[in-house]
Structure 1
Amino acid sequence: MSLFKVQQPLSLKQQAYEGIKNAIIVHKIPPGSTLFERDLSENLGISRTPVREAIPLLEMEGWVKSIPRKGTFVSQITAVDVEEVIQIRRGLEILVIELLIPKITERNIEELDKIYVKQLEHIEDSGQFIAVDKDFHIYLAELSENRRLVNLMSTISDQIRWFGVSALNLPNRTEQTLKEHASLIKCLKNKDAEKAKEAVLEHIEHTRVAILSSLSKEFESRK
């Protein structure tokens, strides 16, 4: 009789992958930076071998780019990247709303309120704030009860976090995000699908504008 293997903790390769990716997302390793295996292994507290093995995974997903005889670099964020991801996010989040409205319960709303309060507590910490922002949107996706949709949302959310960390430094962007989340929660509480769709599209548009504005400021500062 064959048995399924017991799930093991993350391998060192997976730890390296997650650690480097998260550092890229929150801009501890900024776009355009060169990756050095020795520095990464020292910071992660693991050997260089799993770091080396993690690099191709990161490159396959577009987080880094390796150039022969030059090195491996964190990918740059472009306006085209932002527009493409935002287009996909619009479609996914509208589908999330359509699927969850008939299923959402008072207990679900209470959980959303808890996530909202948690995000409010991290308003001064952009890395934590945007991590909780992902929790908020992924929880909504989970309420759709569509596993594939949750996986797609998770991938998109990682990229949105990467794009959006700098945008949180713009005046009032964190406060605006919280207001947009509060508005969406109110619509969901009332089970108003159309108003919820309007609220989520407004939130996405404000996010798009903030990210592009941040990119523009960074580009001007590099001139």
Structure 2
Amino acid sequence: MAFSKIKQPKSFTQIAYMEIKNAIINHSITPGQTLYERDLSEKLGISRTPVREAIQQLEIEGWVKSIPRKGIYVNDISIKDVEEVFQLRKANEVLVMELVISRITDEEINILEEMFTSQSKITDVKSFILFDTNFHVYLAELSGNQRLVQLMKSLSDQIHWFGIQALHQSGRTNEALKEHAQIIETIKNKDLERARIAIHEHIEKTRAAILSSL
């Protein structure tokens, strides 16, 4: 007799972890801001123990820092953080282009264009960066390399966190859309060399926008 596995419900610690982390990524809790367990537990409607455990996990991952006798703070976005993440992003996304060009279908190109059209209608910064992240992760998925997809997804939270900072700059959303359009065009034309250049320029301009906003 076959049984379906019972899905274990999320614990309060997991829920607190995701809520706090998402608030940090979306800048609802800003870099450098102090976190108070009591305040968070009241806002989340849970006891302080799971909040404390969630904060411990966030500290392990580098999102927050605990300073004895001073408190718990959200980490600032540092130049070193940005440089390290974008070094990895550049290497990964150039590889994505190399793998995607030879295998992408017309249907998949249509999906990319639909994603671009949807993103171009977005005016909210947080929604825009979510569409941007999904665009790049979808490209990675088209590569057919699951390890590459996982690497991209592992960077996506920090890229999202940085991106919110950059997109508050005037004109950056329009620039990013133009860069996406160029990336799609090079893929449609199966022009690998121009695709490499387009993705490289997009990443470098995003990096520069983030650094100038710090």
- TM-score higher than 0.5: yes
Aligned-partner SS, 1:29: coil
Aligned-partner SS, 2:72: strand
Match of 2:22 in 1: 22
Aligned-partner SS, 2:30: coil
Match of 1:90 in 2: 90
- CA apart distance, 1:16: 1.6
- CA apart distance, 1:2: 10
Describe how 1:1-223 pairs up with structure 2 within 5 A.
5-122=5-122, 124-215=123-214
Aligned-partner SS, 2:65: strand
Q: Find the aligned partners of 1:195 and 1:22 in 2 and give their Cα distance.
A: 35
- CA apart distance, 1:162: 1.1
Unaligned runs of 5+ in 1: 216-223
CA 1:69 to 1:137, structure 2 compared with 1: closer, same or farther past 3 Å? same
- Give the partner amino acid of 2:179: E
Aligned-partner SS, 2:66: strand
Match of 1:221 in 2: none
Q: Find the aligned partners of 1:56 and 1:27 in 2 and give their Cα distance.
A: 20
- Give the partner amino acid of 1:154: K
Unaligned runs of 5+ in 2: none
- Give the partner amino acid of 2:150: N
CA 1:14 to 1:174, structure 2 compared with 1: closer, same or farther past 3 Å? same
Q: Find the aligned partners of 1:17 and 1:77 in 2 and give their Cα distance.
A: 19
- Give the partner amino acid of 1:159: Q
- Give the partner amino acid of 2:190: K
Aligned-partner SS, 2:15: helix
CA 1:4 to 1:13, structure 2 compared with 1: closer, same or farther past 3 Å? farther
Answer with 127-136 or 32-41: which moved more: 32-41
Aligned-partner SS, 1:186: helix
- CA apart distance, 1:13: 2.1
- Give the partner amino acid of 2:177: L
Q: Find the aligned partners of 1:9 and 1:138 in 2 and give their Cα distance.
A: 27
- Give the partner amino acid of 1:25: I
Percent identity among equivalent residues? Answer: 58
Aligned-partner SS, 1:73: strand
Q: Find the aligned partners of 1:207 and 1:18 in 2 and give their Cα distance.
A: 26
Let me know the Cα RMSD of the aligned residues.
Answer: 1.9
- CA apart distance, 1:191: 1.9
Q: Find the aligned partners of 1:119 and 1:70 in 2 and give their Cα distance.
A: 42
Q: Find the aligned partners of 2:88 and 2:16 in 1 and give their Cα distance.
A: 28
